A = this chain, B = another copy of it.
Amino acid sequence: MSLHDPARPSEESPAERVFAARAGDLFQLLRDGRPWTRAELAGTTGLARSTVAGRVDLLMHSGFVVSVGEALSSGGRPPSRFAFHPRARTILAADVGASHVRVALTDLGGSVLAEERAQWPVSDGPEAVLGHVVDTCGRLMAEAGCPPERLAGIGIGLPGPVEHATGRPVKPPIMPGWDGFDVVGFVQAAFAVPVLVDNDVNIMALGERAGFWPDVEDLLFVKVATGIGSGIISSGQLQRGADGTAGDLGHVRVARGEGVVCRCGNTGCLEAIASGAAVARALAAEGVAVASGAEVIALAAGGSLPAVQALRQAGRDIGEVLATCVNLLNPSVIVIGGSMAAAGEHIMAGVREVVYHRSPPLATTNLRVVLSRAGERAAVMGASQLVSQHVLSPAGIEAALAGSAVGVG
> A: which residues have CB within 8 A of B?
10, 14-15, 17-21, 25-26, 28-29, 31-32, 44-47, 161, 170-171, 217-218, 230, 232, 234-235, 237, 239-249, 251-253, 255, 258, 264, 266, 320-321, 323-325, 327-332, 358, 360, 362-363, 365-367, 394
Which chain B residues lie closer than 8 Å to A218 at the CB level?
Answer: 241-242, 246
Most buried by B among A244, A245, A252: A245
Among residues of B, the one whose C-beta sits closest to the C-beta of A28 is B14
Q: How far is the CA of A15 from the CA of B43 in the complex (A)?
A: 10
B324 & A252 in contact (Cβ 8 Å cutoff): yes
B240 & A237 in contact (Cβ 8 Å cutoff): no
A20 & B25 in contact (Cβ 8 Å cutoff): yes
Which chain B residues lie closer than 8 Å to A15 at the CB level?
Answer: 29, 44-45
Which chain B residues lie closer than 8 Å to A47 at the CB level?
Answer: 18-19
A325 & B328 in contact (Cβ 8 Å cutoff): yes
B241 & A329 in contact (Cβ 8 Å cutoff): yes
A327 & B252 in contact (Cβ 8 Å cutoff): yes
Which chain B residues lie closer than 8 Å to A330 at the CB level?
Answer: 240-246, 248
Knowing A15-B45, A45-B18, A362-B171 touch, does A332 contact B161 (C-beta < 8 A)?
A: no
B20 & A248 in contact (Cβ 8 Å cutoff): no
B251 & A327 in contact (Cβ 8 Å cutoff): yes
B44 & A249 in contact (Cβ 8 Å cutoff): no
Knowing A323-B253, A324-B324 touch, does A245 contact B18 (C-beta < 8 A)?
A: no
Q: How far is the CB of A353 from chain B (nearest CB, A)?
A: 15
Q: How far is the CB of A199 from chain B (nearest CB, A)?
A: 12
B360 & A248 in contact (Cβ 8 Å cutoff): yes
